[in-house]
Amino acid sequence: MAVNKEKIMTRYSFIVLLMGLTGLAVVVKAAIIMFAERTYWHDVADRFVKENVTVKPNRGNILSADGKLMAGSLPEYKIFMDFMSGERDPQKQAKDQHRRDSVWKANLDTICKGLHTIFPDISEAAFKQHLRKGREKRSRNYNILPDRTRRVSYIQYKEAKRLPVFRMSKYKGGFHEQIYNQRKRPFGSLAAQTLGRLYADTALGARNGIELAFDSLLRGRDGITHRQKVMDKWLNMTDVPPVDGCDILTTLDVGMQDICEKALTDKLKEINASVGVAVLMEVATGEVKAMVNMTRGTDGNYYEMNSNAISDMREPGSTFKTASIMVALEDGKITPDTEVDTGCGIMNMYGSKMRDHNWHRGGYGRINVTRILEVSSNVGVSYLIDKYYKDDPQRFVDGLKRMSLDQPLHLQIGGEGRPNIKGPKERYFAKTTLPWMSIGYETQVPPMNILTFYNAIANNGVMVRPKLVKAALKDGEVVKEYPTEVINPKICSDRTLEQIREILRRVVAEGLAKPAGSKQFSVSGKTGTAQISQGAAGYKSGRVNYLVSFCGYFPSEAPRYSCIVSIQKPGLPASGGLMAGSVFGKIAERVYAKDLRLDLRQAIDTTASLMPDVKAGNVADARRVLKELKVADVTLPDSERSEGDGVPGVVGMGAKDAVYLLERKGLRVRLQGVGRVRSQSIAQGQPVRKGQTVVLKLN
């Protein structure tokens, strides 16, 4: 049979042509998809094909020592509207858009009214105008709120999600959101610098404080999901679940932090200071209960801007004298009764004048070591240290190092400064260095290090590391604990410790630190006043700045807390006792009162009958009520029992009761101030003259 080659070639050519056209169609279609339909398919991919999507965990909370929330992550949202249909086909898209237009027209008034209810600062008309503009633009990602930067709370988001159209799925209705984890501090700026801050873009992490130091525990671990179609529905499938961050349990006490912040800020405003620091620490454990770092802003108010308590490298001044005297006591060079003739308060030290603060009043004359610290005599301390250590200054420096004053604290948060205590082999160590170093100059020690030293004195010589974090928690369970660490098991002998503790007690009881004391309990500590060096210009460049401070502990007999108050201020007057000491006194009394525990021996058992005193005021009515109740065991106010026909005593009463008693006697009353009566112009028991005016001062 003959093969028809012509027919075969024709068929072959047809097949080749068909395959070529098919290939060309594939190329053309690919080109259309790659270029003409690029945007559409990107949108489809974003909506339906999401592989290896990172899921952020919830950041852990930062808690106070008693479990109060001090910093936590709360979700905030930006809410958007997609006004375009997901259909690609023009006919289907037009049909879908027509349906949406109908739905929007029917529900626009309801939506705008609902949005106005949720966001009352934006009018219903403003919402209507704003949303219509978005529909005209056919925007795919239109901010529902006119302010593009505004975020809404979770509650506001959920309320908006209930509105018509918005309650539909985002592929039908178009409502969608972008979530942000915003860090919130329920107590506002309290301990802000210690807690730390996050960057505005939380993906960048933490900036400082506990947030930064414990970021690896707080942030948790990311999770991974992908989208998978199951029964014609796209579902988010979890590959690796996110692990939420741990909670951090701090040592901070919200009440004590507030006490310290208020007492310090009030004084800073009073004396127009530039910087103030207050740190309160538990003696036995080193737990920091409060840490305040206040800096005056350009508006005159005070804010936490820097970690001054741990970073400020300033010459500590007279608070350093305690360490100098302890070195000499420990070495057996002196005793508390060793006397020094401080003369008229001025002593020549290798060509430079060493002055006491009262040199212009004639000085202190001949005084012993105890009195030297009581009155903070520069001449007395520098004379003793120079006398016994000028031939071997290294021994004095070694004595300071034995007490770990030169060591960094390695705190749980970053930013701490390293103490700078010069040795005799270092540059610029002159003959004047030793005497000036002994009174707190030519050396730099951060306030926290000074407090740690005084805390060791209160803690029977055991120096513990200051602690800001006690534990990391997961679901309420401790996953990592941070125990108290000992820096130096014994900074000095028991004999030296006993001597210096008695001296520090007398500094407050009989010396310059009386403003730091209390009538309720005994306080021990030391004042400090130092000029602040102005860099290369030294101490004589224009107006001099001063550092006033007080560091101590309370109660003296059984120390519970140690505290340092350090204030930087321009010009005179500058007094460590009157300024920093008075702040310490307020903190100590308020913390002591807050921390009081009732004696169980005074407790009333369940079978006891406790009858309160009857409040002064309308006692006749009180007697009638008590008589009806058959209650006889009452204590009458003194003014009711003893006033007779004279003027009643109303000091301590509220205004209402005081006015009642006085007007009942025919007297007129004029009130000054608010609160309780603190004084009355006519004394109790004086004869009553009808119509006479009694002035009551209240506060």
Q: Which of 540, 568, 594 is the last residue of a domain?
A: 594
Residues 258 and 243 reside in one and the same domain: no
Please report whether residue 77 resides in a domain: yes
* Model pTM score: 0.72
Residues 411 and 490 reside in one and the same domain: yes
Residues 341 and 444 reside in one and the same domain: yes
Q: Identify the bridge partners of residue 73 per DSSP, sorted by sequence position.
A: 183
Residues 555 and 680 reside in one and the same domain: no
Residues 165 and 28 reside in one and the same domain: no
Please report whether residue 613 resides in a domain: no
What is the domain range of residue 366?
Answer: 254-594
At 496, list the tokens: 């030296």
CATH number at residue 694: 3.30.10.20
Indicate the helix (H) or strand (E) that contains 33: none
Q: How far is CA 301 from CA 116, 257, 263, 305, in A?
A: 36, 18, 15, 12
Please report whether residue 219 resides in a domain: yes
Residues 397 and 296 reside in one and the same domain: yes
Please report whether residue 43 resides in a domain: no
Residues 280 and 335 reside in one and the same domain: yes
Residues 575 and 443 reside in one and the same domain: yes
Please tell me the distance from the alpha carbon of residue 173 to that of residue 287, in angstroms, as a whole number: 55
Determine contact, residues 411/422, Cβ cutoff 8 Å. Answer: no
CATH number at residue 114: 3.90.1310.10
Residues 6+ apart with CB under 8 A from 410: 416, 465
Residues 582 and 671 reside in one and the same domain: no
Nearest to 588 by CA among 512, 510, 516, 502: 516
Q: Which of 594, 624, 655 is the last residue of a domain?
A: 594
Please report whether residue 624 resides in a domain: no
Place of tokens 């130096």: 488
Residues 6+ apart with CB under 8 A from 613: 634, 635, 636, 637
Nearest to 77 by CA among 138, 143, 121: 143
Residues 246 and 258 reside in one and the same domain: no
Please report whether residue 414 resides in a domain: yes
Q: How far is CA 412 from CA 233, 407, 419, 462, 483, in A?
A: 50, 15, 17, 20, 12
Residues 143 and 164 reside in one and the same domain: yes
Q: Which of 594, 627, 658 is the last residue of a domain?
A: 594
Please report whether residue 628 resides in a domain: no
pLDDT digits (tens, 9 = 90+) for 24-40: 888 877 777 777 666 66
At 484, list the tokens: 């108290």
Please tell me the distance from the alpha carbon of residue 615 to that of residue 568, in angstroms, as a whole number: 48
Amino acid identity for residue 514 in this structure: K
Please tell me the distance from the alpha carbon of residue 617 to that of residue 294, in angstroms, as a whole number: 46
At 367, list the tokens: 């005084």
Residues 574 and 647 reside in one and the same domain: no
Please report whether residue 607 resides in a domain: no
Task: Count up the domains in the chain and report the number.
Answer: 4
How many CB atoms within 10 Å of residue 448?
Answer: 26
Enumerate residue ranges in the chain where pLDDT < 50: 88, 536-537, 541, 598-611, 613, 615-616, 633-643
Cα pseudo-dihedral 225, 231, 234, 235, rounded to 10: -40
